[in-house]
Structures are given as structure tokens and as C-alpha cells.
Chains A and B, each alone.
Chain A
């Protein structure tokens, strides 16, 4: 299948999946758990996909690329800072980056 179509199909599923996960996960004290979860899970899945070496355009660039997000992560961090919740903002950044990198590594190591 054409790579462009694969990317489009993967993103057509990945982006709404992110939206639905974010809506399903509660936000105690406004902490953006939904985005953190999709970013960590998406990084893990990308590790598996790249480790297996199959369907990289569909599942890697399309699905995982659209499931995860940097713009919402940054915006939600800024909102925490503007609300005066600096430690939560710092926690969001630290946990997202460390858990995301670790999850990708784990996914890759699994294959």
C-alpha cells in the first residue's frame, strides 16, 4: 500500500484515539493524565513497531505519530504554570520525558 495512504489511515485512528483516551481519563487537580498516558503508550508501541520492522508508515508514522502529541503536552504544561502549579508542571515534564523514553526503550527491547 502507498505510504501516504498508510500514514493517513494510521492517523485517522490515532488522533481520535488520543481524544477518546483523554476524555475517558479523569483529571484530579487538573493534571493532564490523558496526554501523559497516550504519549507513554504511543512511545512504547512505536518501540515495538520499529523493533519488528513492519508497517512502519501505518503504525509508526501514522498511528503512533498521531496518537502522541507534543503541542497538547506543551500547552497543558503552560496552563499548569499559569495556574501557579509549578511543581505539577515540572512533574508533568519530567514524568512524560522519562516514562516516554523508557517506554520506547522497553518496546524496542521486547522485540
Chain B
């Protein structure tokens, strides 16, 4: 696979993921929307990575497009740090809850995603 094709796939996927994130933020403008986006993105990433690495060998552009591109562009770390900083000014308790809540939700989601997909799709 040509490196330029991989870069193009990541770019195209990143645009789709970022637009979905932007759309969700317009519909529900709140830090908790970012938390939900990150948790859903992590759950999907867990499922996807098991499918791509343990179930079948996909076309070489599938992982760059869906994983690095769409899910990487959908989820965000920078808005997470910005949300936290903004919340510390108004409600420090909620800010810490958001910081740790996102972390716990994201790590739990990616773990659940891999566990469910392994149970359902990985031949044993």
C-alpha cells in the first residue's frame, strides 16, 4: 500500500469523525457531550481493533480509515483538557468529576468493546 494512500484514508476518515463530533457539539453544546463522544469512540475502537487484529485480516486501508481516521477524528483529547479548564472556573467539583469521569468511562468502554467483541466474534 502506498504511504500516500494511507495518509489520504486517515485524512478522509478524520474529516468524517470530526464533522460527527462537531455536529454533536452543535446539537448538545456541553462538556458532557465530549465525554459521551469519547466514551462511544472508545467502545467502538475496542470492537474495531478486535475485529481487525483477531477476527480477520482486512484490506490495508480499513484500519487507517476507520480507526486512525474516523475514530481518531471523532474522539478528542484537546477539547477534554479545554473543558476541564473551563469548568474549574465555575464548578471545580464538576471539573474533577469530568476529568476523572471521562478517563474511567473511556478506559472501561474500550475494555468492554474488546471483551464483548472477543466473546461474540473471535473463533475459539
Residues 95-110 of chain B, each 1 if its beta carbon lies under 8 Å from chain A, else 0: 0000100110011011
B contacts with A: majority SS: helix
In the complex, what residue of chain B is closest to A38 when comparing beta carbons?
Answer: B77
Q: Could you tell me the distance in whole angstroms from the C-beta of B31 to the nearest C-beta in chain A?
A: 13
Q: Inside 8 A of B81's CB, which chain A residues have their CB?
A: 43, 46-47, 100-101, 103-104
Known contacts: A11-B19, A100-B81. The answer to whether A16 contacts B99 by CB under 8 A is no
21 A–B contact pairs at CB < 8 A?
A3-B22, A11-B18, A18-B68, A42-B78, A45-B78, A47-B85, A64-B79, A65-B73, A66-B15, A69-B72, A70-B77, A70-B106, A71-B75, A72-B68, A72-B71, A72-B72, A73-B77, A73-B106, A77-B110, A93-B103, A104-B82
- Give B contacts to A, CB under 8 Å: 6-8, 10-15, 17-19, 21-22, 25, 38, 41-42, 44-46, 49, 64, 67-69, 71-82, 84-85, 99, 102-103, 106-107, 109-111, 114
In the complex, what residue of chain A is closest to B110 when comparing beta carbons?
Answer: A74
Interface size class of A (residues with CB under 8 A): 35 or more
11 further interface pairs, Cβ-Cβ under 8 Å (given A64-B79, A65-B79, A77-B107): A19-B64, A45-B78, A64-B76, A66-B17, A69-B75, A74-B106, A74-B109, A75-B46, A97-B103, A104-B84, A108-B85
Q: Which 3 A-B pairs have the closest CB atoms?
A: A15-B14, A11-B18, A68-B77
- Give A contacts to B, CB under 8 Å: 3-4, 7-8, 10-16, 18-20, 39, 42-43, 45-47, 50, 57, 60-62, 64-75, 77-78, 93, 96-97, 100-101, 103-105, 108
**Cβ B74 vs Cβ A71 within 8 A:** yes
Cα distance A50–B86 when bound, in Å? 11
**Cβ B85 vs Cβ A70 within 8 A:** no
Q: Could you tell me the distance in whole angstroms from the C-beta of B51 to the nearest C-beta in chain A?
A: 13
**Cβ A19 vs Cβ B45 within 8 A:** no
Partner of A68, one of B25, B68, B76: B76
Partner of B99, one of A8, A10, A101: A101
**Cβ B22 vs Cβ A47 within 8 A:** no
Known contacts: A19-B7, A72-B68, A93-B103. The answer to whether A100 contacts B80 by CB under 8 A is yes
